[in-house]
Amino acid sequence: MNALSISNVSKLFQSPQKKEFKAVDMVSFSIEEGKIHGLLGPNGAGKTTLISMLSGILSPSSGSIEIFGTDVVRETEKAKQMLGVVPQELVVEMAFTVEEVLYYFSGMYGVPRAVRKKRIAEVLEDLSLSDKRHERARSLSGGMKRRLMIAKAILHKPKFLVLDEPTAGVDVALRQKIWDLVRRLNSEGTTILFTTHYLEEAEQLCENITLMNHGVIVKEGRLKDLQNEFSKNVIHFELFDRSVKHIEAVREIGMEYEYPLVNLAADLDRIAKHYHGNIKSIRSEAASLEQIFLDLTKN
Amino acid sequence: MSQMWALYAREVHRFRKLWMDTVFSPIVSVALYLSVFGIVVGGKMIGNLSYIQFVYTGLLSMMIVNSSFSNPGFALIISKNVGTIIDLQLAPIKAWKIGMAYALAALTRGLVTLVVAVLATIWFIPSFGLHNIVYLLLGLVLTGLEFGMLGVTFGMKAKNFEALTFMTTFIMQPMIFLAGVFYPVAALPGVWAKIAVFNPIHHNINILRYAATGYSDGNPLVSLGVVLVISLILFWAMYFVTKKSIRV
C-alpha cells in the first residue's frame, strides 16, 4: 500500500497585485509504506508548499493527496491523525515548559492522559532532552528546540512522518543522532518523507528521491538507478611512468587517464595486466547525488 | 472530543500561568471604578437600587465581557506572531472544536475572574444579594461564551496586535460604556435610549443585573433571546473564520 499518493497537484498563489504564481505545478508521485523518501530541490522549488498541502495546512488548487488511502482534503482530521510533521521553522510556546508543551500537544492528537507522561519520558530520553523537561521551551538552544519539535511530531506514534529540513542548523553530532532516530523509526515501520539541503544526508538515508525545481518534478526514482543513469561510466587512473604505450581507447585528461567502462571486473583486470606495477591510483566514477542535483537544477 | 479538551486545558493553563495579567488586573480595575463611583455618586438611587449596587453589577458584567474577549483574542495573535499557530493547523481537530476550546477557556477565565472579584469586593457593597439563579447561570455562561467566540473570531482574523487593539479600544470599549454599565439606558435622552437597545452588550448587562438585583432596563427574557441569537450567529462566524485560518 502507498503511504502517500500525490496526483496532479498544483498550488496557485495570488500576489497582492493580483499576479498569479504557481508554486507547485502538476506534481505526482507516491511513497510506498515503510520507505524513507527524500524530497530535494533548491530554495523556492516548492518543497515546503507541497509538504504544507499534504499536512493539511494548505489546500491544493487542483489534484489529490492521499495518506494511506485517506484523502487529505475530504477527510482532513483522519489523515492528520496518521501524520507527524516537523516544520522547517523553529517555533515554540512562550509560556510553557518542555513537558507541558508535549503534554498538551500529544493531548491534541488524542494520546490518552494515562499514558501521556510515560510516552513523553520515552521520547525525551530518545532525544536527550530528559534533563530539560522542566525548563521553559523558549529558553532552549536552537538544537534543543529542533529536538523538541521532532519530539512533538513523534509522540502520537504516527504512521507517516514528514520532516522539513530536520537537520538545518544543527551540529554534526546531533545530525547523526537525528539520522539514527530516523532509521530506527523507519525500522519500526514508520514511513518517512523528508526534505533536506544536505545531499549527503539523502544519500545516507534514502532509497528513493524526488527532485523538484520551479514547482515541478525534474527527476524521481531509486537513488541507485539515478546514480547509474548519471554516472559517466568511466575508469580513471594515474600512472607513475606516463611514457608507456597505452591501451586503445584510453584518453589522457590532465594528469589522469580515462578508460570507457563496460564491465567493471573485466576492464579493471585488463588495465591492471597492461600497466602492471605502474598504476598509482585507480577508481571508477559513480555520479554523486550532488552532481545529479546540479545537473538537473542548473537551468 | 478528548482532543478539544486537551486544547481547552492548555488555554486554561496559559491564563493561570499569567494570572497577574489575566485575573488580577481586571479585578484592580473593578475596585478602582467602584471606589471612584462609590465616593462620587454613592448616595444616588436608581429605582429601588443604590447606585453602588447598580454600578457593581455593571462593572462585573463589563469584566466578564472584557476577560472573555481578550483571552482568545490575544492568545491567538501571540500564537500567530510566534508561529505556534501551526500547532492548531497540524492537529487533527475540527475547526469548530478548536474555536469552542478557546471559547470555553475564555468562559472559564471570565468566571474565575468574576468569582475572585466578587470575593474581593462584595464586602464593600451594602445588602448585595441574588434575585434569580437561572438568569444568573444562563447570563454568565452565555456572556462568557459569546465574547469568547467573538475573541476567537477576531483573534483568528486579525493580522496583528494593532488590529485587535483597534477592536478593543475603538469598538468594544465604547460599546461597553454605552451599554448601561454606569447608568440606566432609559435615562438617555430621546433617540439615544432607543439606539442603546440595539447595543448587544446592553442585553448581557441587563440579564446579569436582573439576575443579581431584580432591576431590569427592559424585559430580561427578551435580552436572553437576543443574547442567544447573537451567540448562535457568533458560533457560525467563529467556525467559518477558524476553518479558513487553519487551512489556507
Cell of B173: 470599549
A134-166 pLDDT per residue, tens: 999 999 988 899 999 999 999 999 999 999 988
The answer on A133 and A72 residing in a single domain is yes
Beta strand A208-213 pairing with A36-40: parallel
Neighbours of A250 (CB within 10 A): 17
The CATH number linked to A273 is 3.30.70
The answer on A181 and A146 residing in a single domain is yes
Cα dihedral angle (A145, A146, A149, A151), rounded to 10 degrees?
-100
B4-62 pLDDT per residue, tens: 999 999 999 998 888 877 778 888 888 888 888 777 776 777 777 888 888 888 999 99
Query: What are the φ and ψ backbone dihedral angles of A161, each rounded to 5 degrees?
Result: -110, 130
The answer on A63 and A6 residing in a single domain is yes
- What is the pLDDT at residue A298? 66
Average model confidence (pLDDT) across chain B:
89
pLDDT, average across residues B135-164: 93
- What is the pLDDT at residue A286? 62
Query: Nearest by CB to A85, which of B14, B90, B94?
Result: B90
The answer on A261 and A196 residing in a single domain is no
The answer on A246 and A149 residing in a single domain is no
The answer on A155 and A89 residing in a single domain is yes
Largest Cα separation within chain B, whole Å, is 57
The answer on A113 and A11 residing in a single domain is yes
Q: What does each C-alpha distance from A40 to A22, A27, A148 come to in angstroms?
A: 18, 14, 24
pLDDT, average across residues B200-217: 91
* CA–CA dist A59, B164 (Å, integer): 27
Q: Which domain, by its residues, includes A254?
A: 231-297
Residue given cell 478539544 in the structure block: B4
- Order of strands across the sheet that contains A2-14: A20-32, A2-14, A62-67, A70-71
Q: Are A87 and A164 in contact (CB under 8 A)?
A: yes
* CA–CA dist B102, B145 (Å, integer): 9
User: Does A115 touch chain B if contact means CB atoms closer than 8 Å?
Assistant: no
pLDDT, average across residues A192-214: 85
Contact between B13 and A96 using a beta-carbon 8 Å cutoff: yes
User: Of A203, A222, A241, which closes a domain?
Assistant: A222
Q: Is the pTM of this model over 0.90?
A: no
* CA–CA dist B95, B116 (Å, integer): 32
Per the structure, how many domains does chain A have?
A: 2
The packing angle between helices A98-108 and A113-126, to 10°, is: 130
The answer on A194 and A253 residing in a single domain is no
Instruction: Write the CB contacts of B40 (distance below 8 Å, at least 6 apart in sequence).
Output: none
- What is the pLDDT at residue A299? 57
pLDDT, average across residues A193-208: 82
pLDDT, average across residues A222-237: 76
User: Does B126 touch chain A if contact means CB atoms closer than 8 Å?
Assistant: no
A-B Cβ pairs (cutoff 8 Å, strict): 83
Contact between B3 and A110 using a beta-carbon 8 Å cutoff: yes
The answer on A274 and A212 residing in a single domain is no
Q: Which domain, by its residues, includes B54?
A: 2-246
Q: What does each C-alpha distance from B215 to A13, B34, B58, B143, B210 come to in angstroms?
A: 56, 19, 12, 18, 5
A80 to chain B: which residues are within 8 Å by CB?
90-92
The answer on A187 and A110 residing in a single domain is yes
Residue by residue, DSSP assigns A43-77 as TTSSHHHHHHHHTTSS--SEEEEEETTEETTTTHH
The CATH number linked to A79 is 3.40.50.300
Q: What percent of chain A has pLDDT over 70?
A: 95
What confidence tier does A287 reach under pLDDT thresholds 50, 70, 90?
Answer: low
Ordered alpha helix ranges (H), chain A: 47-54, 76-82, 98-108, 113-126, 142-154, 172-187, 199-205, 223-230, 264-275, 289-297
pLDDT, average across residues A14-20: 80
* CA–CA dist A272, A32 (Å, integer): 43
The answer on A243 and A218 residing in a single domain is no
Per-residue pLDDT for B143 more than 90?
Answer: yes
User: Of A195, A222, A249, which closes a domain?
Assistant: A222
B97 to chain A: which residues are within 8 Å by CB?
none
Determine the residue of chain B that is closest to A61 in CA distance.
B248
- Which of B7, B10, B71 best tests the A interface by mutation, with the highest count of A CBs <10 A? B10
Beta strand A216-222 pairing with A234-239: unpaired
Per the structure, how many domains does chain B have?
A: 1
* CA–CA dist B213, B45 (Å, integer): 13
